Amino acid sequence: MFLLAYLLDPIYYHDGALRLALPPRASFSKRTASSLVLRLIASARCMLQNEQLQVRSGTKEDDTKLIAQLTAYMYVEAPFTDTCCDPLQRLTWWKARSQDSNASIISILAIKLFSVSPSEMCDERTASRLSTFNSAKRNGLSAENLVHMAQLHDHWTYGLESPAYTHKATLQLPTVQTTPKSIRLPAPTLQDLLNPAYPDDKEPSFFVNDPYNAAALDADEEDEEEDDEPMVMRGSDVERLEIDELIDLANSKLIARYSDSSEKASSREPAVAARPSSTVPATPWTEDNWAAKDADF
């Protein structure tokens, strides 16, 4: 699935780092395609099968269309000739092509892949908020009410449901208290008389400068660094990464994307809003209709 997402990435695929070893377009077939291409096609067909089984919709012709569209994408044919330069427009780029009949099937898989959230921070924050709501004093709340409370909290905090509302971060600082000119000390108690204060030049015995003995740990690390000898790796002894057989890690364009001296792309593709399309099958759908069962190419 990772390699399929790498292939369908409209930015990284044009770098040419993926070792597809495509044959000439006229002779492309199952026999002439490389093992990596066959692996990617099998992954796409499996993903299409699961999507059809989930939505209970689709025909056997979708598999043939998927292979044809995926082949056209790999050879950079229409409607995949234009490039995407903005990393934030990958999903928009595929949504714009979902309206084209020559890219409607492959767009389903690409949109599903690039709709995955790259971070779990929102889920972790919501789970922490639910734990706060479901305290010991409020343990009678139902799960439905807890969800509603979390939704209301997000709405009033971030304004997710109101386009006209913009959330602005605020920082509340405590008020500065002015120091009085004269300080009145309380009268000494019996405890103060029994335990006199230490003189200024002597610290109490319970004051420890290094309570966790961190200096000893630093000393041990310095000793280990001095004892370790530098390891020299010969070029012939270095094991190649398994991913290097599939992706050319020495590709100049790929290296430039991760180097500090790489220039940012100045051209940005305008966002194209995709209209939601809903297709309802005319006949009842059965599991025998899914695409990747008996189809071949």
Looking at 23-88, list the stretches that DSSP marks H as alpha helix, in order from N- to C-terminal side: 35-55, 61-74
Q: What is the pLDDT of residue 8?
A: 93
Determine the residue type at 189.
T
Phi, psi torsion values for 18, nearest 5 degrees:
-75, 125
Q: What is the pLDDT of residue 169?
A: 58
Mean pLDDT of 150-169: 70
d(Cα 220, Cα 218) in Å, to the nearest integer? Answer: 5
Q: Which two tokens stand for residue 14?
A: 């044009």
Whether omega for the bond prior to residue 276 falls within 30 degrees of 0, making it cis, is no
pLDDT in tens, 100-136: 999 999 999 999 999 887 777 888 888 888 888 888 8
Written as one string, the DSSP assignment of 69-136 is HHHHHHTT-TTS-S----GGGHHHHHHHHTTSTTSHHHHHHHHHHHTS-S--HHHHHHHHHHHHHS-G
Residues present in the chain in total: 297
pLDDT higher than threshold 70 for residue 235: no
The average confidence (pLDDT) of the chain is: 77
Q: Contact, 289 vs 52, CB < 8 A?
A: yes
Q: Contact, 19 vs 245, CB < 8 A?
A: yes
Residue owning tokens 């767009």: 107
Query: What is the three-class DSSP state of 37?
Result: helix
| Ramachandran quadrant class, 94 (left: phi over 0; alpha: psi -120 to 50; beta: rest) | alpha
pLDDT in tens, 250-271: 888 888 887 754 455 444 444 4
Whether omega for the bond prior to residue 79 falls within 30 degrees of 0, making it cis, is yes
